[in-house]
Amino acid sequence: MERLIIIGGGAAGMTAASWARRLKPNMDITVFESTKMVSHAPCGIPYFTEGLFDDENLFMTYTPEYFVEKRKINVKINSKVEEVDLRSRTLTVRENQGNKKYEFDYLLLSTGAKPKKLNAEGDRIFYVHHPADASYIRQKLWSFDKIAIIGGGILGIEMAEALRARGKKLVLIHRGKYLLNKMLDEDMGKIITDKVGSEIELKLNESLISVTERGRLIVTDKGKYEVDATVVAIGVEPNVDLVKDQLKIGETGAIWADNHMRTSIENVYAAGDSTESINIITKKPDWVPFAPVANKMGFVAGNNIGGKDVTFPGVIETMITKFEEYVIAKTGITENEAKRHNIKTVSATVHHKTRARYYPGSKDIIVKLIAEANTMRIIGAQIIGEEEVLGRLNMMAAVIQKGFTAEELFFVETGYVPPVNRVWDVVTLAARKLYTGISAE
Amino acid sequence: MERLIIIGGGAAGMTAASWARRLKPNMDITVFESTKMVSHAPCGIPYFTEGLFDDENLFMTYTPEYFVEKRKINVKINSKVEEVDLRSRTLTVRENQGNKKYEFDYLLLSTGAKPKKLNAEGDRIFYVHHPADASYIRQKLWSFDKIAIIGGGILGIEMAEALRARGKKLVLIHRGKYLLNKMLDEDMGKIITDKVGSEIELKLNESLISVTERGRLIVTDKGKYEVDATVVAIGVEPNVDLVKDQLKIGETGAIWADNHMRTSIENVYAAGDSTESINIITKKPDWVPFAPVANKMGFVAGNNIGGKDVTFPGVIETMITKFEEYVIAKTGITENEAKRHNIKTVSATVHHKTRARYYPGSKDIIVKLIAEANTMRIIGAQIIGEEEVLGRLNMMAAVIQKGFTAEELFFVETGYVPPVNRVWDVVTLAARKLYTGISAE
């Protein structure tokens, strides 16, 4: 009987396990998960911290028992893989009863990402990453009054929303010139920066020097902040320590894999946040540690392990977050990134509304589209709005992935009904501006 | 100086006028509009009837004065074209001062659509079509107690919402087996039929025999209904009376035009609801009388008249409407239509939610996707949901127009943030079901 071992029971690992099981009903499939949760994703932690729900089991799409009973997958929680030998195809796992050795025919590395750490220690320093820690962190954070958030990326602003809603006094310290500067161009990022800055204390362009006093004293190149606790949200990195000397690591620092999620070692696969991919636009290695990509990589790995030839098309870096009433999204590349890749671009931005002029409750929506100048293919989109952002984002992801020109996007037969749109959709208008070069009303 | 005359100041006509003006600053452009409004669309009438707004000027995107002053377009309202001679390039217009003759070099026929009429007369029979009549109709309808709506298509259910909100006692009489039967397949249409039927009296499978007593007595093949007034919403037809004997009329009954919006007569163009197009999926003539198509046809006509070569890609029949909390949409073809065109299909339907399991306020959303069986290209989508329908509809329009396979749609890098989505988007799940043939949770 073929043995598949999966290290990491997050989105990618459990998706792969499920698809391998469907295709190979007799395969022996074991998942080792170091925490008590599987099929989890950290995306819900800010909303749990905000107090929008209390049951931490809701972080899991399915429970370990579900996988064991319904899908005949051996899920071992609280089981940390201590050592892997890819050559002898064995691994050592620390389980409740002590260390145990396993052999595999197929291995999937879905070890995920881990938060980047400060060079500082203290019981008032909190990293928000794994749902298994969410209850502890929430209980702690709720007990403090003044909290610093280090980092103005997606997690930073989500935690800012959450802690502000809990009535905390916040200071958000960010190294960049504006918030979400890895996700948005400055013109769009400025809108969010102004919004967040109108509600909480914002320190931009500040580099961290030290966090001391157990997490209660922050010193930057511009100031000192005394707080009760520090939340660190300075990004994540691929969790590859277990295998990094035994297989090819890509230039992003994540595990290299081909478009079948095969690593450089035969029958060893990688999927999810631990894994590098290729950017469809730049054709360069890229690393996108978000759940939808992890799930699809897991699908591809599971199918290929199961014997079905399925190809992962690469990534375009779709991102979406929310700060209070603003949903903020991007897909494809920004103008900033395009410059770094020497891609000449043109862009068009349209401020519009989500409902007909006369229909009550109309909200703002802003769309920025970016096209490659010589082909006029759409390569990036940034959207900020109070409703109907998600669908337009996904539309733009489809458009970018398939290489629509601005003209083709303009001519998409969009829908119109007054309660949910304007007759010229904001995306159509932005495409028209790119296509015609005319900024018509 | 070149003279362009445009008959009809609706969406298509005014868009064409504006783009011709941009490209040919010296062209003499005159628009004849028979009513007092231009740049109008009937889509707002149900919401005006519902009482959601009171200013009928809001039906117009721009006023006649705006076009005259800002765009140097001679807009003549209350000016009905009585006769056109395409051979001698002249027309006769009934204006306030009496009939007047005009000559043209270019002509655009954007005469729109008109409601299909009953074979019945009476001052209690109302056709909801032109914004210019909206105030009169609303005032009348508000004064009645019991109202019949004939027709269960888009306008029928929008008027049902409006009049129910005004506290009217309604009976909706529909010839079809379920509501919206030209837009949705039965499985999806049933959901809306049940919803509407739970709130108003619904008579399905009933054929009209007569409407008498000035609109107060309706007789069908199954019953008699005494009401105070009758709203007729049995569809529209292209308004081509003026020219139908002088140029090629397509098999849909609308004016035939090529992909540059040129009719069979040189320098005579057609655009908007009066004009036929080609369906991108079936490659057959099709007629789509909705504002986004009209606007884009107007854009194409205006550009080509202005000397710029722009091609209209054809239509896919995108439709969207709302009944109370349900937004209802479709694009591409239904399974019903596919059968008529002898296209073999497979379909997948997914019932899902719009937010993460743990995020408050999650709403239902249902997506049905239809693929051509032999190519697995997506050719149709039907969506019913309480939020985020519009963007997903537009995504599917892009997907269908460009011929994505189910596999390609599945691999679109969709976005995920808990307040506005699930990690597997409903569209991704439906695509996965089509692509894998497996109905996995």
State the angle between helix axes of A11-23 and A291-305 in degrees (0 to 180), rounded to the nearest 10. Answer: 30
Q: Which of B11, B293, B322 lies closest to A417 in CB terms?
A: B322
Q: Which residues of A97-133 are buried (b: 16+ CB within 10 A; e: fewer)?
A: eeeeebebebbbbbbbbbbeebebebebbbbbbbbbb
Residue A332, pLDDT > 80, answer yes
A147 vs chain B: nearest CA distance in angstroms? 24
Binary contact (A295, B424; C-beta < 8 A)? yes
A395 contacts on B by Cβ (under 8 Å): 391-392, 394-395, 398
Q: For residues B321 and B47, what is the distance between their CA atoms, to the nearest angstrom? A: 12
User: In chain B, whose CA is at the least distance from the CA of A327?
Assistant: B420
B58 contacts on A by Cβ (under 8 Å): 357-358
- Name every residue whose Cβ is closer than 8 Å to that of residue B229 and which is 6 or more positions away in sequence: B124, B125, B126, B140, B141, B144, B147, B148, B215, B216
Residue A299, pLDDT > 60, answer yes
Binary contact (A440, B22; C-beta < 8 A)? yes
- Quick one: average pLDDT of A189-211? 98
B414 contacts on A by Cβ (under 8 Å): 292, 318, 393-394, 397
User: In chain B, whose CA is at the least distance from the CA of A359?
Assistant: B52
What CATH code would you report for A3-40+60-114+237-305?
3.50.50.60
Q: Which of B319, B358, B417 lies closest to A58 in CB terms?
A: B358
Q: Which of A292, A358, A411 lies closest to B296 in CB terms?
A: A411
- Quick one: average pLDDT of A345-361? 97
Mutate to test the interface with B, among A300, A413, A428 (most CBs of B within 10 A): A413
Name B150's bridge partners.
B173, B232
Name B217's bridge partners.
B212, B226
Binary contact (B320, A420; C-beta < 8 A)? yes
B395 contacts on A by Cβ (under 8 Å): 391-392, 394-395, 398
Would you name the residues of B annotated as active-site residues?
Answer: 43
B421 vs chain A: nearest CA distance in angstroms? 7
Q: Which of A318, A392, A421 lies closest to B413 in CB terms?
A: A318
User: In chain B, whose CA is at the least distance from the CA of A296?
Assistant: B411
Q: Which of A299, A312, A395 lies closest to B394 in CB terms?
A: A395
Mutate to test the interface with B, among A359, A363, A390, A408 (most CBs of B within 10 A): A390
pLDDT reported for residue A441: 57
Q: Interface pTM (ipTM) of the complex?
A: 0.97
The residues spanned by each domain of chain B are 3-113+237-305, 117-234, 325-436
Binary contact (B22, A438; C-beta < 8 A)? yes
Q: Which of A359, A414, A419 lies closest to B318 in CB terms?
A: A414
A218 vs chain B: nearest CA distance in angstroms? 30
B432 contacts on A by Cβ (under 8 Å): 299
B331 contacts on A by Cβ (under 8 Å): 413, 415
Residue A359, pLDDT > 90, answer yes
A358 contacts on B by Cβ (under 8 Å): 44, 47-48, 52-53, 55, 58-59
Binary contact (B415, A401; C-beta < 8 A)? no
Written as six digits, the tokens of A82 are 């201590």
Residue A61, pLDDT > 90, answer no
Binary contact (B423, A357; C-beta < 8 A)? no
pLDDT tens-digit series, residues B378-432: 999 999 999 999 999 999 999 999 999 999 999 999 999 999 999 999 999 999 9
Q: Which residue has the tokens 């960049």?
A: A176
- Quick one: average pLDDT of A364-374? 98
User: In chain A, whose CA is at the least distance from the CA of B387?
Assistant: A388
Q: Which of B41, B322, B391 lies closest to A419 in CB terms?
A: B322
Q: For residues A11 and B423, what is the distance between their CA atoms, to the nearest angstrom? A: 9
Three-class secondary structure assignment of chain A: CCEEEEECCCHHHHHHHHHHHHHCCCCEEEEECCCCCCCECHHHHHHHHHCCCCCHHHHECCCHHHHHHHHCCEEECCCEEEEEECCCCEEEEEECCEEEEEECCEEEECCCEEECCCCCCCCCEEECCCHHHHHHHHHHHHCCCEEEEECCCHHHHHHHHHHHHCCCEEEEECCCCCCCCCCCCHHHHHHHHHHHHCCCEEECCCCEEEEEHHHCEEEECCCEEECCEEEECCCEEECCCCCCCCCCECCCCCECCCCCCECCCCCEEECCCCECEEECCCCCEECCCCHHHHHHHHHHHHHHHCCCCCCCCCECCCEEEEECCEEEEEEECCHHHHHHCCCCEEEEEEEEECCCCCCCCCCEEEEEEEEECCCCEEEEEEEEECCCCHHHHHHHHHHHHHCCEHHHHHCCCCCCCCCCCCCCCHHHHHHHHHHHCCCCC
Three-state DSSP at B362 gives coil
B407 vs chain A: nearest CA distance in angstroms? 10
User: In chain B, whose CA is at the least distance from the CA of A18?
Assistant: B440
pLDDT tens-digit series, residues B322-356: 999 999 999 999 999 999 999 999 999 999 999 99
- Quick one: average pLDDT of B274-287? 98
Instruction: Please say whether the beta carbons of B24 and B306 come within 8 A.
Output: yes
- Quick one: average pLDDT of A246-267? 98
* Averaged pLDDT of chain A: 96
- Quick one: average pLDDT of A366-392? 98
User: In chain A, whose CA is at the least distance from the CA of B332?
Assistant: A413
Residue B440, pLDDT > 70, answer no
pLDDT reported for residue A247: 98
Mutate to test the interface with B, among A21, A56, A412 (most CBs of B within 10 A): A412
Residue A233, pLDDT > 90, answer yes
pLDDT reported for residue A186: 98
Binary contact (A411, B418; C-beta < 8 A)? no
Binary contact (A356, B290; C-beta < 8 A)? no
pLDDT reported for residue A275: 98
Would you name the residues of A annotated as active-site residues?
Answer: 43
pLDDT reported for residue A440: 66
pLDDT tens-digit series, residues B217-272: 999 999 999 999 999 999 999 999 999 999 999 999 999 999 999 999 999 999 99
A398 contacts on B by Cβ (under 8 Å): 395, 398-399, 404, 409, 412
pLDDT above 70: percentage of residues in chain B: 100
Binary contact (A427, B394; C-beta < 8 A)? yes
Residue B441, pLDDT > 80, answer no
Equal fold, B3-113+237-305 vs B117-234: yes
Pick the CATH number of B117-234 from 3.40.50.720, 1.20.1270.360, 3.30.160.270, 3.50.50.60: 3.50.50.60
Binary contact (A320, B428; C-beta < 8 A)? no
Residue A438, pLDDT > 90, answer no
B428 contacts on A by Cβ (under 8 Å): 292
B177 vs chain A: nearest CA distance in angstroms? 25
- Quick one: average pLDDT of B17-38? 96
Pick the CATH number of A325-436 from 3.50.30.10, 3.40.47.10, 3.40.50.2300, 3.50.50.60: 3.50.50.60
CB atoms within 10 A of CB B439: 11
B368 vs chain A: nearest CA distance in angstroms? 16
User: In chain A, whose CA is at the least distance from the CA of B323?
Assistant: A419
User: In chain A, whose CA is at the least distance from the CA of B39?
Assistant: A423
* Second-level CATH architecture of B3-113+237-305: 3-Layer(bba) Sandwich (3.50)
Instruction: Please say whether the beta carbons of A30 and A13 come within 8 A.
Output: no
Binary contact (A22, B438; C-beta < 8 A)? yes
Residue A436, pLDDT > 60, answer yes
Q: Provide the number of CB pairs (under 8 Å) joining chain A to chain B.
A: 236
Binary contact (A43, B418; C-beta < 8 A)? yes
Binary contact (B53, A318; C-beta < 8 A)? no
Binary contact (A413, B293; C-beta < 8 A)? yes
Q: For residues A173 and A432, what is the distance between their CA atoms, to the nearest angstrom? A: 39
Instruction: Please say whether the beta carbons of B341 and B58 come within 8 A.
Output: no
A48 contacts on B by Cβ (under 8 Å): 358
pLDDT tens-digit series, residues B355-376: 999 999 999 999 999 999 999 9
B290 contacts on A by Cβ (under 8 Å): 416
pLDDT reported for residue B323: 98
Binary contact (A404, B402; C-beta < 8 A)? yes
Binary contact (B292, A440; C-beta < 8 A)? no
